[in-house]
Amino acid sequence: MRKTNLACLVAGLFTLLGLLNVSAQASEWRVKAAFELGYADLQEVSGITQSRRFDNVYWVHNDSGDSARIFAIDGSGAIVFPPFLKVHGQNAVPGKKPWKGHEIELAAHYDWEDITTDGNWLYIADTGNNGNARRDLGIYKIADFNPRAVEKTRTIDYLPVQYPDQTRFPAKRWHFDAEALFFDQDKLYLITKHRRAGRIDQFESGASLYRLDLTATPRPITLTKVDSSKTLFMVTGAELSPAGSTLAVLGARQLSLFPRPLQGDAWFQSRPLTLDLAAFKLGQVEAITWVDERRLWVTNESGAVFEVSPPAIGREAQ
């Protein structure tokens, strides 16, 4: 047998073993209810990310229809705000008004769908595009500030974006609605959610991955399409693990964990580890973040937060 044929056989065996391993692990996921936000002003949570500058701080925001504001919560789900203000969190306190969140000046909330961080800055994706007709899509850049010391903030930069493959508004194919944003190696990435053309309430399988170079000019910035998937369905959130080794992609039906590509950024080309969400009755899931390398938080639009531990990571924790 030729060495090349032997090498191909060995590679094929390793691939088969890898697939069997993924299948064997499918029943080993751990999912549990973590907490309910239970806060009136967080009516439809659509984005969450963990601060890397401040311990025990997670940033969340509402979906479309809200004002330009974000909220901070801690690991128990309690609202975090400056203690010197005459406001209160989830529990009413006589003489104090409920906290209304950290206002973001010089920003508008049209359809915020996700939030992520590069360690120093927060990025908020105003990229919801249900009817595939928007021409004002963009991403806000703000400081990752101390929510216990700062009452409000303002936009540092606004990154208007456009898709390279959309020329009609609305598009001929309704594949230009992005609800998932993540950061990796000085670049931002958006993942799209697909609908049947002309039907906001009917979805199609598939997703596209676009890259945004933060140093790109001129503006609006034309995104670069780097990958696509035929199987991802109704993607609503994404986040890269703290070590940068695993991309979590949240969809309406399943959670997918993709290992980092050996080269480049075609994340969808490898076989993901997946969790079928149907059995867990999580509701309409909208956002995801990593707590650490072993755990993720998945939130639904009503503010319920679930802790998810993938099987491979779960065994390491034992």
pTM of the model: 0.90
| pLDDT for the residue numbered 267 | 97
Provide φ and ψ at 201, rounded to 5°: -95, 5
Return d(Cα 178, Cα 304) in angstroms, integer: 22
Are 102 and 152 spatial neighbours (Cβ–Cβ below 8 Å)? yes
Return d(Cα 133, Cα 65) in angstroms, integer: 18
| pLDDT for the residue numbered 104 | 98
**pLDDT < 70 regions, the chain:** 1-26, 312-318
Tell me if 133 is assigned to some domain: yes
Tell me if 157 is assigned to some domain: yes
Tell me if 172 is assigned to some domain: yes
The two three-digit tokens of residue 134, written as one number: 């928007």
Q: How far is CA 281 from the centre of its chain?
A: 20
For 62, residues 6+ apart whose C-beta sits below 8 A from its C-beta are 41, 42, 43, 44, 45, 46, 109, 112
Are 100 and 166 spatial neighbours (Cβ–Cβ below 8 Å)? no
Check whether the bond before 160 is cis (ω within 30° of 0).
no
Tell me if 162 is assigned to some domain: yes
CATH code: domain of residue 298 = 2.120.10
| pLDDT for the residue numbered 25 | 52
Tell me if 23 is assigned to some domain: no
Return d(Cα 291, Cα 284) in angstroms, integer: 20
Q: Provide the domain count of the chain.
A: 1
Tell me if 168 is assigned to some domain: yes
Q: Which residues of 309-318 are buried (b: 16+ CB within 10 A; e: fewer)?
A: bbbebbeeee
Give the pLDDT confidence of 90-135 residue by residue, as tens digits. 999 999 999 999 999 999 999 999 999 999 999 999 999 999 999 9
Structural domain for 302, as ranges: 28-317
The two three-digit tokens of residue 185, written as one number: 């190696």
Tell me if 22 is assigned to some domain: no
Tell me if 2 is assigned to some domain: no
